[in-house]
Structure 1
Amino acid sequence: MNKLYARKPLVIAVAIAIPLMLGTASVNSAEFDIADTKVAVGGYAKFMLNYDTDGTITAPFNGDLYSVYTTPIDGSANAEKSDLHMTARESRLFIKTASENKYGTLKTYVEGDFFADIDSDGPTWSNSNGFRIRHAYGEMTMGKHVVLAGQTWSNFMDFAGIMPSMDFATDPGTTFVRQPQVRYQYNIGKGQYTSISLENPTLGLTAAGPYTLVNNGSSEDVMPDIIAKYFYANSRVTFSPRVVIRRFELEGDDAFGYGLALNTSLKFGDGHKAVLGLMYGDGIGRYAGLGFNAGAGINADGETDTLEYSSITGGVVFALQQNMRLAIGAGYSEQDEKGLEDGILTEYANKTAFSWHTNLFWNITPDIEWAVGVTMGDVENMADKEGDMTRFQTYVKYTF
């Protein structure tokens, strides 16, 4: 603890100095017409500083993200280390279009960032990172009917009912999946719709924490994941139940899994917001927490079997001023020990994970945002061994 408090003044000083060095120049997104199509080009440049103490991580993406599931277990190589590093790889670009035709309005959206790893060109000399596709889809709106095809956020997600975070990683139990899909949405009325989607069925199973795959991560995928969602919103409340049905086939044997989720939010006072999320599944796997939980595997009898998972998340976002907000949130998840008893999981697999975080966001101008925050995470594996660490973060984001 003495080492932690000795280093904290440096971290705090850097976090405070960053916004003071900013200018107030503003750059707007480029919007123009090509024939009968409206085109917009934009994105943002983002600088982030991370400081880990009482443990550090090297994955995913070389530690630029802190998924709580990757918290080092006490006694492991990184459990007592501290580390400071900076990155700009979350910076992104997008292009979107909108045009009218005889059926309705066609919109397209393509977005990418620099989170693809280039192992041969690391931070020693250039800090280069590869450009990758985040979103690439087309969407046709025909009155109350909307059809989408391409890659984007899973229909199993609900952004209205989750806590904001400073990077892609979130508290345990928060769904984070972006993948190819075909989706149909029916707009019932103002702020209310139902949707169903057929999504990429990639297995993504982990047996021993985040690094060892069940059945080498492979399966015979013959059926897409099927997801149904209902969403309701008014001026104060949002409410969104979802369900996903999955099929697993490993070494010629198959099993079905499912997941249920419910997120809700409530606005109160002068711009404040509270959120709550619940999730339960038997075979939910990668839909929970960046994929670091197993969905199914081969048990001791050689059969495909699914694994239970449950989680709860929540928090409050306080509007301190018109351009400043404070977020305080937490999440807890649990993976059933039966997977260890049945021989699907190893003792190194995640059993429970918990984290809390607090972030302060300040929109200095409409185009410049500064944030500072801290996340504390704790995990326990199937061998009842625990680990914890703390990450301090700050960033500056220039939107254009």
Structure 2
Amino acid sequence: MTQSNVVPRQYLIAALFVATTGLGAPFIANAIELSERTDIELSGKIVGAVIADSDVSGMGVNNLPNGLHDKNDDANVAIDTTLTRLNFASNTELEGDESLKSFISFDFNDANSGKMDLRMREAYINWKINNGSLLVGQTWSTLMDLNRFPDSLLEPTLSGVVFTRQPMVRWSQSFGSFRYDIALESGSNRVETENSETKLDNTSDYPDFVVGVQTNTDHYWLRAAAVVNHITTKDVKKNKTFSDNGWAIHLSGGIKLNETDHFQLAYFNSRGNDRYVLGVSQTGPLFEADTGQFHLRESESLWGAFGHSWTDNLKSTFSYGIWQAEEFDWQADTFTQTQFALANIKWTARENLVLGVEYNYTDYDRSQSESRDNHRLIFAADYSF
């Protein structure tokens, strides 16, 4: 087993982490002993943002596609630090070409309300075996394309972006520039009813099956991913179970046009799986209590982004996305479409310190309510460590 040289600060980090998470002083010695054979790393970032909205208040730091619904339409200026993040990681080198990695990440944006509310983002173990790896825990969904997101100041809340984390078991393997992923991910039916008298049991009986393939080069990447699942719900009062098969596909890619410009594009199509798209999960499966019928809505989205580097320390992103879903004739007021556009400029003022200004425009349509839109201006400082 390879012995790792760990700087004294990391001994302190390990001990401090154990002490502050309630494990107690008797375990501090064990944590330090572990660090002698395992690299332990503390990282994270401090994010502070001043956010000015033209037509909504109380929406939170994440500008979600349906975030304007049921919110006050007054203008608002907020100061937010909830995306501040703390990460703990470890890496143990094993015999041969094997290693064990672990990762835990927290932030403070659980409720997206502007109030500091602790949230676990990721927690997983990754066992690397030659050119493959087995991951167990909570992290970003296999349906996502992690190669690149629109380089926004905060999180990429563009309409139609596939952006979610959930528990999973995933096997990944690479062959040169080609990689495939096969995963079972935590199912979440999220079936809704428009009858307040009806009580539904939405316990998921089966995990989602997700596969992805991609190819990467220095000049471009392409990725295709898909999910299939069996979505169920139970009418508790009538003791009847209803189910249907859902699916979704996600096609994405990007190209490096030259040393300063790059472009990316993504398309999503779904039947009953809008929960994988950030901010539109309420448009998924629907149970019609009056007729006893079970429905899966279909939807699709498209977004693109263009990035340009003005200098080594100054860059901009311009992006646009649109998402829309079908509407059933018998439905009450429902979310049917949203658009999002952004433009920003980011300056690396010092090593690990990025300052930026970003403009967002959001609008949404509902089947019966009036359409709403909002202009958002953000100034943010991001210090990574």
TM-score (norm 1): 0.81
CA drift of 1:198 comes to 0.6
Tell me, which stretches of 5 or more residues in structure 2 are unaligned? 1-6, 12-33, 235-240
* Residues 192 and 285, structure 2, Cα contact 8 Å, conserved in 1: no
CA drift of 1:67 comes to 0.7
Q: 1:226 aligns with which of 209, 218, 236?
A: 209
Structure 2 residue 343 is the aligned partner of structure 1 residue 358:
yes
Residues 170-196 of structure 1, C-alpha deviations (whole Å, 9 max, x = no match): 11100111111100001122x320001
Residues 249-308 of structure 1, C-alpha deviations (whole Å, 9 max, x = no match): 112011110001101101112231101000001111201223444221113531222110
* Residues 249 and 304, structure 1, Cα contact 8 Å, conserved in 2: no
Distance 1:197 1:57, change over 3 A: farther
Q: Distance in 2 between matches of 1:164 and 1:94?
A: 21
Partner of 1:250: 233
* Residues 48 and 86, structure 1, Cα contact 8 Å, conserved in 2: yes
Structure 2 residue 369 is the aligned partner of structure 1 residue 379:
no
Which SS does the other structure have where 1:130 is aligned? coil
Q: Distance in 1 between matches of 2:198 and 2:310?
A: 50
Distance 1:148 1:175, change over 3 A: same
Q: 2:298 aligns with which of 289, 304, 308?
A: 308
Q: Distance in 1 between matches of 2:209 and 2:191?
A: 18
Distance 1:38 1:181, change over 3 A: same
Q: How does 1:71-220 map to 2 (within 5 A)?
A: 71-72=68-69, 78-79=72-73, 81-102=74-95, 104-117=98-111, 129-189=116-176, 191-205=177-191, 218-220=201-203
Partner of 1:367: 352
Q: 2:373 aligns with which of 378, 384, 388?
A: 388
Q: Distance in 1 between matches of 2:165 and 2:316?
A: 27
Structure 2 residue 279 is the aligned partner of structure 1 residue 290:
yes
CA drift of 1:231 comes to 1.4
Residues 106-159 of structure 1, C-alpha deviations (whole Å, 9 max, x = no match): 00001101123599xxx8xxx6x2322111000001011210000110011112
Which SS does the other structure have where 2:66 is aligned? helix
* Residues 57 and 75, structure 2, Cα contact 8 Å, conserved in 1: no
CA drift of 1:68 comes to 2.4
Q: Distance in 1 between matches of 2:198 and 2:347?
A: 46
Q: For the aligned residues, what is the CA RMSD? A: 2.6
Partner of 2:310: 320
Residues 324-371 of structure 1, C-alpha deviations (whole Å, 9 max, x = no match): 110000100101013xx2x4x421x21110111011111112210111
Q: Which of structure 1's runs of 4+ aligned residues deviate more than 4 A?
A: 28-33, 205-208, 212-218
* Residues 267 and 302, structure 2, Cα contact 8 Å, conserved in 1: yes
Which SS does the other structure have where 1:304 is aligned? strand
Look up the equivalent residue of 1:158 and give its one-letter code.
D
Distance 1:194 1:203, change over 3 A: same
Q: How does 1:49-64 map to 2 (within 5 A)?
A: 49-53=50-54, 55-59=55-59, 63-64=60-61
Look up the equivalent residue of 1:368 and give its one-letter code.
L
CA drift of 1:164 comes to 2.1
Which SS does the other structure have where 1:286 is aligned? helix
* Residues 56 and 71, structure 2, Cα contact 8 Å, conserved in 1: no
* Residues 283 and 306, structure 1, Cα contact 8 Å, conserved in 2: yes
* Residues 205 and 286, structure 1, Cα contact 8 Å, conserved in 2: no
Tell me, which stretches of 5 or more residues in structure 1 are unaligned? 1-27
TM-score (norm 2): 0.84
Q: How does 1:7-46 map to 2 (within 5 A)?
A: 34-46=35-47
Residues 3-55 of structure 1, C-alpha deviations (whole Å, 9 max, x = no match): xxxxxxxxxxxxxxxxxxxxxxxxx99657822211111111111110001x1
> What is the total number of aligned residue pairs between the two structures?
349
Q: Distance in 2 between matches of 1:78 and 1:111?
A: 32
Which SS does the other structure have where 2:147 is aligned? helix
* Residues 257 and 282, structure 1, Cα contact 8 Å, conserved in 2: yes
* Residues 322 and 339, structure 2, Cα contact 8 Å, conserved in 1: yes
